[in-house]
Amino acid sequence: MSFKWKLILFILLVAGALGGKYFLFDMPIGTGYQVGVLKNLSHQGAVIKTWDGSLLVEGKESSLFYFSVRNDQLARELLELKEQEPLLEVEYQEFRQGWPRKSAKNIVAWKVLDKSNLTVDINEFSPSNRELVRYLGRTLFCSLIGSLHQDQELYQQVKDHLKEANPYLYQQYSTCND
């Protein structure tokens, strides 16, 4: 084989390796958003140091959303927020492979969400659903109070406290057995 063909073969192998690296590790296959509380973020690795972490995602069942951060500045900003445990919305890109990172999801942006905006105004529901929302609220409240009933002393203390401190809640309590 002549030198010319060896050089062409070498160039094709290098181009294939670089193309494969891009295809597997650097080309995003999707994007998304996730909301949760930052639970873990660390800079680790034996040979290649990477930023890997997790968000606690609340929902039907609490779960962890694992991610990586390729941008050092972004990782340091998130690390500064970790102790405050704010509610974060993160934007991520998903890749085919995560190596050398632990996750194929890479955080590209984040923002702190204002928890006070997460309340629900019952008037935003249609009139037919308002009664359902009130019923569910009362049911949850009564379930909470009912769970205290096993400890009679604590149950009486909560009942007396509600009577003095919050007449509205005490009125809700009084309708629990209706």
DSSP string, 48-96: S-EEEEEEEEPSSS-EEEEEEE--HHHHHHHHHHGGG--EEEEEEEE-S
Nearest alpha carbon to residue 105 among 14, 11, 34: 34
Q: What is the pLDDT averaged over residues 50-55? A: 88
Whole domain around residue 67: which residue ranges?
28-117
pLDDT band at 137 (very low <50, low <70, confident <90, very high): low
| 74 plus 47 within the same structural domain | yes
**pTM (two decimals):** 0.53
| 48 plus 95 within the same structural domain | yes
Final residue belonging to a domain, choices 99, 117, 135: 117
In a domain, 2, yes or no: no
The secondary element (H helix, E strand) that includes residue 43 is: strand 30-44
Number of domains in the chain: 2
| 47 plus 98 within the same structural domain | yes
| 42 plus 93 within the same structural domain | yes
| 126 plus 99 within the same structural domain | no
In a domain, 49, yes or no: yes
Check pLDDT > 60 for residue 6. yes
| 99 plus 140 within the same structural domain | no
In a domain, 164, yes or no: yes
In a domain, 21, yes or no: no
In a domain, 18, yes or no: no
Burial of 121 (0-12, 13-18, 19+ CB in 10 A): exposed
- 95-132 pLDDT, tens digit each: 776 566 667 788 888 888 876 665 555 555 566 566 66
